[in-house]
Amino acid sequence: MADKRDYYEVLGVDKSADEAAIKKAYRVLAKKYHPDANPGDAEAEKKFKEASEAYAVLSDPEKRRQYDQFGHAAFEGGAGGAGGFDFSGTDFGDIFGDIFGDFFGGGRSRSKSANNGPMKGANLRTSVRITFEEAVFGCKKEIELNVKETCKTCNGSGAKPGTSPETCTKCGGKGQVVFTQQSFFGTVRNVQTCPDCNGSGKVIKEKCADCHGTGYIPMKKRYSVDIPAGIDNGQSTRMPGLGEPGINGGPRGDVLVEVIVGRHPIFQRQDFNIYSTVPVSFAVAALGGEIFIDTVDGKVIYDVKPGTQTDTRVRLKGKGVPSWRDKNYRGDHYVTLVVQVPDKMSNEAKELLKQFDAAMDDSLNAVKKSSDSGKDEEPKDKDNKKKKKLWK
């Protein structure tokens, strides 16, 4: 027994793992290494046997207790099963129901849960285009849907008037059929939806001429949908009970309306915050002053501080996007101030700007002054002569 790996290690779970965790771990390994999924792969078959043996022990409370106390020695001499291990009493049914359903197209239905009872109908999806402002503050939009309404001729039965649906002979009205599959452990029984009645347990011999046996008539309908304030691009709002009809008397599904938000020429959105850029004149940036800033609520006045540099970011609290989940929360608006340099100036403006520059640090003549001061300096050595020549 010394060459055997620890069962907990085989399944990749802790010794404190509960039954659900052990089952989940085994299902993953069984599906990965099952011989039907790896035909001719001896290594996969070996790992499958190893995982199955570990599961057979750890899924049984008594066997697990013995293993935790005595290790592999607790099962020496066991007969039957693969590799001499006894798999009797181990329930692999629901696990292999999943696995074989995937392998052979039977879905993931199980005998305990698969039935022909009422089921909710499928959801329908559509989309609607809205503006940036409509996404921020919410709006109403009209959508057109192709919906299925109950056929008035047969009252939704799908059968020709004067006739009724009959019990499905393939499944006996159960909506399910049982099939067997040979596996590593022998014959495994699996359950899937009856292909003749699609799980309803009834078949229609004479179909209604208007709905062709479906029980529903397709038609176009218009609905008004409420788009909540704060919804973002790609998100959806739900309209309950307007989707596909339910099965066997089940409720209708829902309609999911995805919003496509148009781009805004000024604003950009990230989560619940809005971002924009506002130009500021050189005079306002240098001396300070009031400017107008566009927000989704309209124009607001902002007082720019003297000496404001370009790319300065200011925050307008509560001017962002409201949360559609929390009506008491609203994001902020962040504005980047960009100092503008005029590209056209009158001669008078140019002269005044020169006077302003001379009164400050005379930056217009900075290079000239530096060159002139360099000419007055006598080079002290040959290296300085070379540098002076390079400078010229």
Residues 257 and 139 in one domain: yes
CATH number of the domain where residue 35 is located: 1.10.287.110
Q: Could you tell me if 32 and 134 lie in one domain?
A: no
Domain of 143: which CATH number?
A: 2.60.260.20
253 in the same domain as 147:
yes
In this structure, are 310 and 249 located in the same domain? Answer: no
Q: Is residue 326 part of a domain?
A: yes
Mark whether 247 and 272 lie in a shared domain. Answer: no
Task: Taking residues 97-109, report their average pLDDT.
Answer: 48
Residue 111, in any domain of the structure: no
Q: Are residues 232 and 279 in the same domain?
A: no
Residues 311 and 387 in one domain: no
pLDDT per position as a tens digit, 325-368: 888 899 999 999 999 988 888 999 888 888 888 888 878 887 87
| Structural domain count, the chain | 4
pLDDT band at 291 (very low <50, low <70, confident <90, very high): very high
Convert the pLDDT of each residue in 194-212 to its tens digit.
Answer: 888 877 788 888 899 989 8
In a domain, 208, yes or no: yes
Domain span at residue 46 reads 7-91
Does 369 reside within a domain? yes
3-class DSSP string for the chain: CCCCCCHHHHHCCCCCCCHHHHHHHHHHHHHHHCCCCCCCCHHHHHHHHHHHHHHHHHCCHHHHHHHHHHHHHHHCCCCCCHHHCCCCCCCCHHHHHHHHHHHHCCCCCCCCCCCCCCECCCCEEEEEEECHHHHHHCEEEEEEEEEEEECCCCCCCCECCCCCCEECCCCCCCCEEEEEEEECCEEEEEEEECCCCCCCCEECCCECCCCCCCCEEEEEEEEEEEECCCCCCCCEEEECCCCCCCECCCCCCCEEEEEEECCCCCCEEECCEEEEEEEECHHHHHHCEEEEEEECCEEEEEEECCCCCCCEEEEECCCCCECCCCCCCECCEEEEEEECCCCCCCHHHHHHHHHHHHHCCCHHHHHHHHHHHHHCCCCCCHHHHHHHHHHC
Q: Residue 53: inside a domain, yes or no?
A: yes
Is residue 186 one of the residues assigned to a domain? no
